[in-house]
């Protein structure tokens, strides 16, 4: 693993690191904020999964999460959104290929050799963090924005007992029923829609639910609201009688101005579960 940068940040350290990924068969870069408490021993972990076109850097720089994580004594992990490199398949469209991994393990050509973001985020990167840094993998929570909200919700429901809490900012809630989903799931996973279901938060909610607290914020002025389909997830939550707080925030759009506005709420929400 190679250290790209380490900066003092709210009493802790914001680092950026690159390593060779066996899951993605390329070099991967991630951001990690460790609060001051990590100097004395392992601290709880909050994963932040970013959205379409993002890298590890967008949320790390724009979300304002470090201040609130430092206050709560929580580590923040900012993975990349896809594999990278000259030999990694890509597409001319912004919503497929590099920057658009959708947190699945691709099985279709040309994506299969590298696009294994589910395994990378849920297996390889946690193992690396646990072996290298002062993080407590028995206390994990997960959040994300847009495509990353989709990933956070499906991982939380798909990996029973892994995460104590889950939240999302404007998640893609029903990708099997949206143009932000059907195109990508078909490309990565093939024509069998049964294989798509574990990667649809609304279908996961109806089938499995989540054994813990859930918080979701979406802006009423989100320019992608018809693609996100928050109403489908809300119906699934109601049908399952899931413990959840679903909020529509008046006037907010899809940007990091929205994310940063409600980041304090989300970090505090996760801290309550992580320290319970």
222 in catalytic set: yes
Q: Which residue has the tokens 């470090």?
A: 66
Q: Is 146 a catalytic residue?
A: yes
3-class secondary structure, 258 = helix
For residues 154 and 23, what is the distance between their CA atoms, to the nearest angstrom? Answer: 19
Q: Which two tokens stand for residue 54?
A: 């993002």
Among 21, 222, 266, 270, the active-site one is 222
CB 3 within 8 A of CB 19: no
Helix axes 256-274, 65-72, angle to 10 degrees: 10
| Active-site residue identified among 146, 165, 167, 173 | 146
CA–CA gap between residue 33 and residue 134 (Å, rounded): 11
DSSP3 helix / strand / coil % (the chain, rounded to 5): 40, 25, 40
Catalytic residues: 146, 222, 254
């Amino acid at each position: 693993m190679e250290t790209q940068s380490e900066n003092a940040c709210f009493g802790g350290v914001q680092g950026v690191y690159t390593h060779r990924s066996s899951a993605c068969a390329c070099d991967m870069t991630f951001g990690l904020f460790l609060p001051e408490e990590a100097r004395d021993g392992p601290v709880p972990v909050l994963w932040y999964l970013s959205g379409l076109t993002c890298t590890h850097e967008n949320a790390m720089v724009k979300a304002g999460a470090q201040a609130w994580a430092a206050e709560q004594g929580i580590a923040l992990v900012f993975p990349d959104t896809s594999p990278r490199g000259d030999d990694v398949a890509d597409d001319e469209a912004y919503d497929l290929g590099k920057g658009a991994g959708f947190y699945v393990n691709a099985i279709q050509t040309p994506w299969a050799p590298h696009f294994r973001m589910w395994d990378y985020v849920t297996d390889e990167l946690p193992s690396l963090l646990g072996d290298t840094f002062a993080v407590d993998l028995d206390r994990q929570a997960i959040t994300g924005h847009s495509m990353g909200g989709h990933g956070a919700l499906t991982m939380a429901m798909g990996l029973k007992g892994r995460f104590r809490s889950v939240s999302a900012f404007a998640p893609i809630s029903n990708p099997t029923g949206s143009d932000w989903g059907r195109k990508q799931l078909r490309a990565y996973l093939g024509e069998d829609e049964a294989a798509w279901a574990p990667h649809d938060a609304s279908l996961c909610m109806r089938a499995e639910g989540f054994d813990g607290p859930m918080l979701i914020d979406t802006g009423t002025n989100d320019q992608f609201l018809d693609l996100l389909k928050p109403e489908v997830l809300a119906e699934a939550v109601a049908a399952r009688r899931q413990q959840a707080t679903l909020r529509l925030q008046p006037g907010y759009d899809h940007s990091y101005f929205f994310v940063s506005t409600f980041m304090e709420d989300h970090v505090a929400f996760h801290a309550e579960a992580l320290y319970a």
